[in-house]
Amino acid sequence: MRTILFLLLACAAASASAQGLFSLETSESGRQWQAVGRLEIDGRVFCTGALIEENLVLTAAHCLFDEDGRPVAEDGIRFLAGWRNGRAAAYRRVRRAVAHPDFDPGNADTAVRVRNDIALVELQHPIRTGMIQPFTLDLDPVDGASVGVVSYAHDRAEAPSLQEACAILGRQRGMLILSCSVDFGASGSPVFHYAADGTPRIVSVISAMARAGERPVSLGTGLATPLPALRAALATKGGSGAGPDPMRAGMRRDTGAKFVTSTRP
């Protein structure tokens, strides 16, 4: 069977069906998810990111590219934690942003691109409030595990939505194949599963949407292999955080899905 892959090249482009999504627009429904926020790029487009340390946001690497494949300036990036109905639980500028050193947005091999499609965004000031608690990571989720995705999108930009009725179907060359049905706007969204005590833990980051035959699926970046290299890249990066850097990568702003390749499972 051939799997047709479509890369999520726009973080805030036209979103299609919101089937299976539960809006987190009230303070009660969104309480557990305050560490998920909108990552705004140049005040014009956005992705989704999630706080994993007091000053560190996890997102997709392609969220940091402009439409020409050039890295966007870090001083134009903002993180709006818990953004809902025009207000953020915390608002932070960015000190540094770094993509996985092996991420190449122009790589024609979709599996290689997706498996390295993660980035870390370091905030200028940590977020320290009891309302916003960083998420714990789970680096080795099992196939078949029930997962959920929390994301913003173009037609639901003012509040995040939760889709929790999906699962990890399998793995392919470092990618996680998920039954979650995503669309434009889900780039960088955290994929969660629940620990035994009910605590949500991040197991992946949404990179792409795909089809397995007639079935819509999504592709997530696994964390176990690329995350250590990503942390090392962030640790060695200096500077004030302004301007392009060869270690950074990110978002394209195309307005539609782009056919990129097909791959065998």
CATH number at residue 188: 2.40.10.10
pLDDT confidence of 69, banded at 50, 70, 90?
confident
pLDDT over 90 (residue 220): yes
Nearest to 157 by CA among 45, 61, 253, 256: 45
Within 10 angstroms of residue 1's Cβ, the number of other Cβ atoms is: 6
pLDDT score recorded for residue 238: 65
Q: Span 107-136, mean pLDDT?
A: 93
Phi, psi of 108 (to 5 degrees): -75, -15
Longest dimension (CA), the chain: 49
Of 17-31, 78-92, 186-200, the one with minimum mean pLDDT is: 17-31
Provide the token pair at 128: 């320290």
Whole-number percent of the chain with pLDDT over 70: 82
Within 10 angstroms of residue 108's Cβ, the number of other Cβ atoms is: 9
- Tally of structural domains, the chain: 1
- Greater pLDDT, 142 or 220: 220
pLDDT over 90 (residue 144): no
The dihedral over CA atoms of 7, 210, 32, 87, expressed in degrees to the nearest 10, equals 40
d(CA 79, CA 188): 13
**Host domain of residue 82:** 3-263
pLDDT score recorded for residue 44: 79
| pLDDT tens digit sequence for 17-54 | 334 777 888 877 778 999 999 999 887 788 999 999 99
pLDDT over 70 (residue 168): yes
Provide the token pair at 67: 């439409």
pTM confidence score: 0.83
d(CA 85, CA 94): 22
pLDDT score recorded for residue 34: 95
pLDDT score recorded for residue 209: 84
pLDDT score recorded for residue 157: 86
pLDDT score recorded for residue 43: 79
